A and B are shown apart, each in its own frame.
Chain A
Amino acid sequence: MRKTRKYSEDVPFSLTSMMDMMTIILVFMIKNIDAEGQLVTQAENLVLPNSTSKIQPKEVSLTVVVDNGFVVVDNEKIVPTADVLAQDSLLVEKVNTVLQDRRQIEKDHALANNLPADEAGHIIVQIDKNIPYDAMYKVMATCGFSGYTNIAFAVMMKNGGEE
């Protein structure tokens, strides 16, 4: 008959290997931590282009998103991208109306807080990397027309921002 091996009942549960694993995970997390937080978050249904830029936005700005479906201002679908491509004019009327309203609100808010209201507005434009230049140019021109002349494109840092 085969003899079964008996184990003592008081074998302690070893946590050392678990601790090693946790320490590695902890170091990895600390390396990737973003203590400042993200002022820009990527919109859905959108692939941003990769870039070598490491410039971080300094303040929260109004965001315009241009994906394959719509032009979105502050999470509100304004006009289909196909309509923007089809029009001849550089000015996208529906987007311009929304942006001018937002700019006016920003100016009123600045005046109410004794801040200069005549400064150029800041806007971040998130554009899918496959969107044609025509749509990008029209949206950019509309932003400029409605008072948002400090325009920045959102991009994905190359290699996740690693050196």
Chain B
Amino acid sequence: MAKEIKKPKKPDEPDLLPAMGLFTILIPMLLSMTAFQKLAIVEVNLPERSNMIMDDTPPEPDQQALNLSLAVTTDYLVIGARGGFQPNVYFKEMWTFRCKTDAKLITYAPEDVKAAVESGHGPKCQDGSEMDVEKYIYDIETIELWAIQKESEEDPGRVIWGMYSSQGEGRPDSAYLDGANNFLALPGEGPLGLQKPAALKLPSAGTRVSTLSENSERALKPDAAASNIIYALSAYDVIAKDLIAIHTQFIDLEDVDNIIIVANDDTQFDKIIQLMDRAKEAGFTKINLAKLGG
């Protein structure tokens, strides 16, 4: 008699319904506790009241104090210390919007946006649609300050382009510096230097670069080298580099951690926060605010 060959029985699936029930309860609960955008705070100091007895004669300037200030005007940023000023860091302000219709980023000069708004149109998105002419200001994702190289006060200047690591969507993250602590950057071509310079080539894998962060020098890995971009050098980065150098150079001074940010009346709050961030990262822990000419 032929032996009957038994087919292996398919294993039974475990009963997953109770687990599903648990998940269905857990997910809405966790969803209610999830924070997709986290808020933080930036602490700021009010100007301190002096304990000195004031008389008619102004006090002698403290030769041992740094008295560091960082001024922001409509055209440039400048660092002042001990009564002197560093060269102005000129910039061209640019607004990057995130459109609600296509969720894509688009960058415009403020004067172009204002001209469009005056003619009754909102700034245009990449898909051709227009932003709300009343509420376009809420679509500004970043206010960028593109560093400009100027030969004289009258010179309109040329945008400086630099090497950046990318944070996706073609947006810059960290600026690259070479071994001599100079930005890998060149002035742009064409009118106002708005075209990327052809001579500026992205660093290849293995090139030694650093960023503004401490001890960041490394050889570029192939995947990092492939994702780098050329983007307009940020005036914030130029100022951050100077602030780091100043903080390191005058580390022994008593007021080395103090900085006063001075701004015009019409300076947007976003610029103040960006400068406070750069100052904190450079090691200035005590930040005061003051008005320009006030």
B5 at the A interface (CB under 8 A): no
Report whether B16 and A15 are in contact in the complex, using a CB–CB cutoff of 8 Å: yes
- Say what secondary structure dominates the interface of chain A: mixed
Report whether A55 and B142 are in contact in the complex, using a CB–CB cutoff of 8 Å: no
B253 at the A interface (CB under 8 A): no
Smallest beta-carbon distance A8→chain B, Å: 13
Query: Among B33, B39, B273, which residue has its beta carbon within 8 angstroms of that of A40?
Result: B39
Say yes or no: A32-B35 contact (C-beta < 8 A), given A15-B20, A53-B42: yes
Report whether A152 and B44 are in contact in the complex, using a CB–CB cutoff of 8 Å: yes
Query: Among B34, B41, B140, B143, which residue has its beta carbon within 8 angstroms of that of A124?
Result: B41
B286 at the A interface (CB under 8 A): no
A18 at the B interface (CB under 8 A): yes
Q: How far is the CA of A55 from the CA of B143 in the complex (A)?
A: 23
Q: How far is the CA of A131 from the CA of B269 in the complex (A)?
A: 6
Q: How far is the CA of A5 from the CA of B226 in the complex (A)?
A: 53
List residues of chain B with CB within 8 A of the CB of A132: 265-269
> Within residues 137 to 158 of chain A, which ones have a CB less than 8 A from any CB in chain B?
137, 140-141, 144, 149-157
Number of interface residues of B (CB under 8 A): 47
Report whether B40 and A55 are in contact in the complex, using a CB–CB cutoff of 8 Å: yes
Smallest beta-carbon distance B42→chain A, Å: 5
Which candidate, B22-30, B51-59, B124-132, B216-224, is the interface stretch facing chain A?
A: B22-30
Query: Among B44, B270, B276, B289, which residue has its beta carbon within 8 angstroms of that of A129?
Result: B270
Report whether B35 and A133 are in contact in the complex, using a CB–CB cutoff of 8 Å: no
Report whether B19 and A19 are in contact in the complex, using a CB–CB cutoff of 8 Å: yes
Report whether B46 and A49 are in contact in the complex, using a CB–CB cutoff of 8 Å: no
B281 at the A interface (CB under 8 A): yes
Number of interface residues of A (CB under 8 A): 59
Say yes or no: A154-B41 contact (C-beta < 8 A), given A32-B36, A49-B273, A128-B269: yes
Say yes or no: A26-B273 contact (C-beta < 8 A), given A34-B35, A40-B41: no
List residues of chain B with CB within 8 A of the CB of A16: 13, 16
B137 at the A interface (CB under 8 A): yes
A113 at the B interface (CB under 8 A): no
Q: How far is the CA of A23 from the CA of B140 in the complex (A)?
A: 36
- Chain A 20-54: CB-based contact to B (< 8 A → 1; otherwise 0): 00110110011011110110111000011111111
Report whether A151 and B44 are in contact in the complex, using a CB–CB cutoff of 8 Å: yes
Q: How far is the CA of A133 from the CA of B42 in the complex (A)?
A: 16
> Within residues 55 to 102 of chain A, which ones have a CB less than 8 A from any CB in chain B?
55-57, 68
Q: How far is the CA of A130 from the CA of B267 in the complex (A)?
A: 9
Report whether B46 and A157 are in contact in the complex, using a CB–CB cutoff of 8 Å: no
Q: Please, could you name 30 A-B residue pairs with CB atoms under 8 Å apart, sorted by A?
A: A15-B13, A16-B13, A19-B20, A29-B34, A32-B35, A33-B33, A34-B33, A34-B35, A34-B38, A41-B39, A49-B273, A50-B142, A51-B277, A52-B277, A129-B270, A129-B273, A130-B268, A131-B268, A132-B265, A132-B266, A133-B291, A137-B289, A140-B44, A154-B41, A155-B42, A155-B273, A156-B38, A156-B39, A157-B38, A159-B167
Binding site for A on B (CB under 8 A): 13, 16-17, 19-20, 23-24, 26-27, 30-31, 33-44, 46, 137-138, 140, 142-143, 167, 263-270, 272-274, 276-277, 280-281, 289, 291
Binding site for B on A (CB under 8 A): 12, 14-16, 18-19, 22-23, 25-26, 29-30, 32-35, 37-38, 40-42, 47-57, 68, 124, 127-134, 136-137, 140-141, 144, 149-157, 159-161
